[in-house]
Structure 1
Amino acid sequence: MAAITTGCIKLEKKLIALGQQKATGRLVLAQGDRQWTFYFFLGHLLYATGGPHRVRRWERALKLYCPNFSVDANKVSNTNLWEYQVLQEAVLQEQLTLNQAKALLRSILKEVLFSLRNDPDFSIRWIASTRPPSMQISLELPLSTGEVHQILQKVRGMWQQWQGMGLEDICPDRAPVFAEINPYSSASESDTLLKMTQLFNGHNTCWDVAIKRKQPIAVVARSLNHFIEQGKMELRDVPDLLSPAEQLRLVCAAVNPPGPLVACIDPSPTMKRTLESILVPAGYRFVAIQSPLRELSNLVKQRPAFVFMETALPETDGYSLCRFLRKTGIFEKTPIVMIGDREGLKERIRAKLSGACAFQGKSADRKQWLEVVRRYIPLKPHPAVQAPSEGKILYQY
């Protein structure tokens, strides 16, 4: 228990100190592949996030404090602080009161801090930021040092109660489900059991159950622990929900026709990952051909609308392969752009002579890669459903 106390006391002191220092930046906690982040602006806590259920936590707080508020996915950006940006805009537009928004922030911070009690062996790293915000941040909404201190005290009390009930082995981020159901139960027992299985279905976490039953998390956990000790119930890990931006992307993918296919003939896995991360979110499909001679039939079968081709291929010369493809009926008019590490007049001339449309140096940034594709195969945006944009960056950390 000492390790838990030491780790949490260290975190508590750090959070208070950052507030007193009027610090700006982010405090990052890590344990294995899990990470938590506390965002600060001039000593005020903007938002706390991390752990396995960032979106579930957000949705729970919305249901509890802003039940009539609906998030417009089209206005949700892809920034690290999209939740805070939604709240600030909602307060400015008078869709939420300041008290509602602050209650939501307090609830989320409380959950994050309480969950960290189950993961005491975390590392702590402070990353200061000196960049000014790209939009005005009101200091009324973020949590002050005094408010953070009150929440820390409340979480400490919750954890003491948790320990007093013997619930240390219960992780509230996990979902309860019945391990077995007695088929010989009486009619009244079966009816009760049916209602319970609808709630304890392996999809609702302990936190979710507490919200649905309008009970404190400790009361819910104590009830669940009774069944767990009897072997009638178990806890399972469950995935997080999709964020509004991710939900919108799925809708776009379902509504909008598939984007043109871009092929990259390059043996480099890094090049594959880079182009895929740029083109797929932009609406294009992507395929990597790492061995053109062995995968030529696949290239013909896929019939890409655009081809990036490395000049220095291990099995053949990229310029020669380009000339070969130009002689085929399938790729006679397909836009082909040669790519390579060397960027000079010689490479551009050789690209033109081989039949390529252009040459692109590998040092190009994300915008340049996307621009060269859009130049030859532009996308037509769907009139009704648009993919989420990057949006305004609330704060660049």
Structure 2
Amino acid sequence: MATYKVFTTNELAKRIQACTHEQFTGLLSVTDTQNQTWSFSFHQGYLIGGTGGVHTIRRWCRQLLEYCPRLPLETAYYGSDRFQYCDYDSLAKLVMLGKVEQKQMAAVIEANITEIFFDIIQQGEQLYSGSEKQPIFEQIPRNTKNSQLALVPANRALHKASQIWEDWQQAGLLDVSPNMAPVILQARELRRQTSPLAYDNLTTLADGNRTFRDLALKLKQNLLPLTQSIMPYVRKGLISLSEVADFNLKHPSSQTVNQTSATITSSSISSVPPQKSNATKRSRPTAPLIACIDDSRLDSEMMSQLLTQSGYRCLSILDPLQALVELLEYKPDLIFLDLVMPVVNGYEVCAQIRRISIFKETPVIILTSNDGIVDRVRAKMVGSTGFLAKPIATEKVLKILQRHLPASKYL
């Protein structure tokens, strides 16, 4: 693993170029001073995926709507609580089934990565201009699979994002995030100052639930001129900009469970827009999120049922090769990790987890039926917090959770 400080956009470009020239295969992640994380998957120097930031699911779904219009996504994008095509592997399977063309998949991947690059650049310009605090990049080698369908030249995606950012700055939108959602404040005055068509579009769509990027897609307009057309009304106080939550990602139905390598149960995983404090009313924070990395579907489902019935949220990861990507995206409070898995074992995954700075203190509990002293010693050597023997017993799991997750944090 290599760790770098990123001081400028040019330095970011150098790190991306280094991964290309080294023909790097693995995960490249960046975490800013506000604990926001993005990650990029590389295969032999080419990008094959990106995730993280404020709108992981919303962003991905937007690219699918744009480049895979035949997929049944309209309902999912505008309000459904289920979304099944949420990662590289699920989209690759659609290509294999002939439901999506390979060039469409490549377009989705590249557009998704380009948006992420733009967000990182804008965030960096706002947070780190003249500041001594810098985000941290971490380079984590790992195996990849199904990686030949969509290989995106990293420099090309970064160049596109940099050009969009340059145009964005020149338009005077330095501090305006395309992830913000316009919402009408003064409808009567807005109607007086706009054309009937513009007013109808604004009142229908500018409801605080659609970002600038969402509106551009819905209206089939270019993002920059659309944002420029709305900003005068924002500056006049007729329209305000608000943060908007990501779409919910809930446990898929039994018909779609095989299409994803990770599923979340019990509660949605999404960013929540900030709310005004209320001294007379205390709301209960989100329940702890527990990750279970286990290639056994039966054991994974047992653990998921046990956790959700006990009031926890569960992130089930069946594919250990996808574990780091999912962990970086959702940042669980505790991780259960199976020891015996194909391709990569629990020791190797645990060592990779411990190389990532944000997981230095996260409890990692090794699951195995081989409860021997040698296994325990080796598990400790790679950084595991504890050991749990299979078969899974409810009482033992709950004791571990109570020991490692302070109840006061979630009350």
Pairwise same-fold verdict (TM > 0.5): yes
Verify the 8 A CA contact 1:170 1:221 in the aligned structure 2: no
- Structure 2 partner of 1:282: 305
Offset of residue 172 of structure 1:
0.5
Partners of 1:126 and 1:208 in 2: CA distance: 31
Change (3 A) 1:41 1:181: same
Verify the 8 A CA contact 1:25 1:126 in the aligned structure 2: no
Offset of residue 195 of structure 1:
3.6
Where do 1:252-331 residues align within 5 Å? 281-282=304-305, 284-286=308-310
Verify the 8 A CA contact 1:25 1:127 in the aligned structure 2: yes
Verify the 8 A CA contact 2:92 2:149 in the aligned structure 1: no
1:154 to 160, 167, 173: 160
2:244 to 228, 238, 256: 238
Change (3 A) 1:15 1:280: same
Verify the 8 A CA contact 2:189 2:238 in the aligned structure 1: no
1:139 and 2:162 correspond: no
- Structure 2 partner of 1:193: 199
* Alignment-mate amino acid for residue 231 of structure 1: G
Partners of 1:98 and 1:10 in 2: CA distance: 32
Give per-residue Cα distances to partners, 1:107-166, cap 9 Å, x unaligned. 101111111222103513223224x44xx42424121xxx32222222222111111111
Secondary structure of 1:365's partner? strand
Partners of 1:241 and 1:113 in 2: CA distance: 20
Verify the 8 A CA contact 1:227 1:233 in the aligned structure 2: yes
* Alignment-mate amino acid for residue 304 of structure 2: P
Partners of 1:209 and 1:54 in 2: CA distance: 17
Verify the 8 A CA contact 1:45 1:142 in the aligned structure 2: yes
- Structure 2 partner of 1:227: 233
* Alignment-mate amino acid for residue 111 of structure 2: S
Change (3 A) 1:88 1:94: same
Secondary structure of 1:201's partner? coil
Secondary structure of 1:125's partner? strand
Secondary structure of 2:247's partner? coil
Verify the 8 A CA contact 2:183 2:240 in the aligned structure 1: yes
Change (3 A) 1:221 1:273: closer
Partners of 1:56 and 1:275 in 2: CA distance: 23
Change (3 A) 1:126 1:181: same
- Structure 1 partner of 2:123: 119
Q: Which has the higher contact order (CA 8 A, sep 6+)?
A: 1
* Alignment-mate amino acid for residue 180 of structure 1: Q
Give per-residue Cα distances to partners, 1:232-262, cap 9 Å, x unaligned. 11110011002364688999979xxxxxxxx
* Alignment-mate amino acid for residue 111 of structure 1: E
The gaps in structure 1 that reach 5 residues or longer are 255-271, 289-342, 344-361, 375-397
1:7 and 2:31 correspond: no
Secondary structure of 1:48's partner? strand
Partners of 1:103 and 1:42 in 2: CA distance: 19
Matched pairs, number: 271
Partners of 1:251 and 1:245 in 2: CA distance: 5
Partners of 1:138 and 1:62 in 2: CA distance: 19
Change (3 A) 1:370 1:201: farther
Taking only the aligned residue pairs, the percentage that are identical comes to 22
Change (3 A) 1:76 1:368: farther
Verify the 8 A CA contact 1:280 1:286 in the aligned structure 2: no
Partners of 1:70 and 1:231 in 2: CA distance: 38
1:28 and 2:66 correspond: no
Offset of residue 213 of structure 1:
1.2
Partners of 1:224 and 1:92 in 2: CA distance: 42
TM-score (norm 2): 0.57
Change (3 A) 1:183 1:219: closer
Partners of 1:184 and 1:241 in 2: CA distance: 29
Offset of residue 27 of structure 1:
1.3
Secondary structure of 2:187's partner? coil
- Structure 2 partner of 1:204: 210
Verify the 8 A CA contact 1:177 1:201 in the aligned structure 2: yes
CA RMSD of aligned residues (A): 4.0
1:170 and 2:194 correspond: no
Verify the 8 A CA contact 2:216 2:223 in the aligned structure 1: yes
Say which one has the larger Rg.
1
Give per-residue Cα distances to partners, 1:172-228, cap 9 Å, x unaligned. 111111122227957x96775344122100000011011011111111110121111
1:101 and 2:109 correspond: no
Secondary structure of 1:235's partner? strand
Partners of 2:395 and 2:11 in 1: CA distance: 51
- Structure 1 partner of 2:88: 84
1:369 and 2:392 correspond: yes
- Structure 2 partner of 1:48: 50
- Structure 2 partner of 1:306: none
Change (3 A) 1:244 1:228: same
Offset of residue 94 of structure 1:
1.5
Partners of 1:184 and 1:167 in 2: CA distance: 21
* Alignment-mate amino acid for residue 228 of structure 1: V
Secondary structure of 1:118's partner? helix
2:140 to 128, 134, 137: 128
* Alignment-mate amino acid for residue 310 of structure 2: F
Partners of 1:33 and 1:20 in 2: CA distance: 29
* Alignment-mate amino acid for residue 46 of structure 1: I
